Structures are given as structure tokens and as C-alpha cells.
Amino acid sequence: MARRPKQEHANHERWLVSYADFITLLFAFFVMLYSHSQMDRSQAERISQAFREAMQEGRLTHVLAKLLKNAPPPKPRSQTPAMLPPAPPDPSGTIELLPSLQELQEKLKTEIHQGKVEVRMERRGLVISLKEASFFPPGGDAIQPQAMPVIESIAVELRRIPNPIRLEGHTDSTPIHNSRFRSNWELSAARGIAMLELFATRFLIPRERMAIAGYADTAPVAPNDNEEGRARNRRVDIVVLNETGTLGEPQAQGGAED
């Protein structure tokens, strides 16, 4: 009687081989991604070539261990823009403003040369004059987006010092009357308010340090009988008050604050 051939038992663990190969390839893939993000192009090319050779010669695990051992440490990420300096602890005090004048003249050298900004020292304090054409649309109070880098440089310096700040709006003598503003008085005040809101909300300058003044065309710096003079008169002056400048400012009375 013929013997039945012995039945071979099915190997239920063969899937482990494919699974191990898949995990190894997946690990190699992530190592490639890591290397590409952390190393320069030449280093990434050397790693890629090593993987190709390892796949052909069947020694992937050995190459992976060697690469991980010899890989240089990751380069530090580029530093984010400098954080705004902390606000001064005493908003009612004043300090010498000459260093701030020199700092802003250096930072805004290009804008000063182009006539967009003027920085000067007066008896009442440091005056940073922003010309309308570079910071506001004609007849409007919306600050132009392209002016933000200049305003940020000014705001960083303002946060370093505790002195009170006055935001003064000025116009030329041409009367304005549109759907938003009935007079140059409203326009000049609105531009000062727009600058205050920007400093307070975006650059975190305390509101109690700032005040608004709208002068319309009553404080010109040039004649209003020609376009060049009128353009100079349309401005917002950021006045950082010194001790002399603060003498005429109202003082909070004891017990009057909410």
C-alpha cells in the first residue's frame, strides 16, 4: 500500500520577513528626509549614493548605523527677528534722548536721505517726523503697509525709553471735505490716533505713555504756497518728550485714577 506523502506545514511567520524589509526601508526613508533637512547639498548627495550602494550590496543596516554615527550635528536654526525690548518699568519718568537720536539717525539713514523721515532734537524733546506721502494715502488715515518696517524700527527704540510720547497730526492749508473727514482738523487727529493704535496693539507700547494732538494747518514747517512746501507740512510728528517737554503736560491727580 502506497504511503501518503507527508504534508508540509505552512509557515505562518513568513510575513515577518516582508514586514522587516518594509520597516527597514521606511526607516531609511525617514533618515533620508532628516539628512536632507539638516545637512548641506553635498552631504545629502553622499548619503544618497551610500544608500544606493547599500541596496545593491545588501548591507543597508550596516550603512545606516555608520551614517548615523558619523553624521554632523544639526546646524542651529536661523535666529528669529529680535523680540521687542520690554517696556520701561516707569512710564512717568524721562531719560536723556541723545542716544535715541543717534540710534534712529543710523537705523533710518536711507529713509532720511530719501526725505521720507526727519529726525531732530528740539527744546521739548526728540521729534521723528513722518511725511504723509510715505505713510498715509492722500486724504486718508490708513497707514500704508510698506511703511511698517520703518515704523517698527521707531517702535523698538520707543520701547527702550520711558519718556512720554505725543503723536501730532499736521496737514497743509488745502481744505479737505470728503465722506470721512469734514475738515483738516479731523484728518490730522485721525492720523495721530491711527499711529497710537498701531503702537499700542502691534508694538505693545503702553497707551498711558501716549497722547494725541491734531494741529491741521496751524503749525507748518514750510510755506503752503507751493507743492514742495505743502508736502512737507503733511506729516505726523512723533514727539518723545524730555523733562522740559513734560512740564506742560497734564498730570494725573492722586485718587483721580480709576
pLDDT in tens, 48-72: 666 666 555 555 555 555 555 555 5
Residue 202 lies in a domain: yes
Geometric angle at alpha carbon 190, from 127 and 156, rounded to 5°: 40
Percentage of the chain lying above the pLDDT 70 cut: 64
**Which range marks the domain in which residue 209 is found?**
98-246
Final residue of a domain: which of 55, 70, 85?
70
Percentage of the chain lying above the pLDDT 90 cut: 54
pLDDT greater than 90 at residue 173:
yes
Residues 22 and 140 both lie in one domain: no
Read off the pLDDT band of 81 (50, 70, 90). very low
Residue 82 lies in a domain: no
For 186-204, write each residue's pLDDT tens digit: 999 999 999 999 999 999 9
Residues 155 and 217 both lie in one domain: yes
Residue 255 lies in a domain: no
Residues 55 and 111 both lie in one domain: no
Residues 178 and 50 both lie in one domain: no
Residues 55 and 128 both lie in one domain: no
Residue 124 lies in a domain: yes
For 93-134, write each residue's pLDDT tens digit: 678 899 999 999 999 999 999 999 999 999 999 999 999 999
Q: How many domains does the chain have?
A: 2
Residue 194 lies in a domain: yes
CA distance 132 to 141: 10
The CA-atom distances, in angstroms, between 147 and each of 67, 96, 142, 163 are 49, 27, 11, 24
Check: CB of residue 95 under 8 Å from CB of residue 163: yes
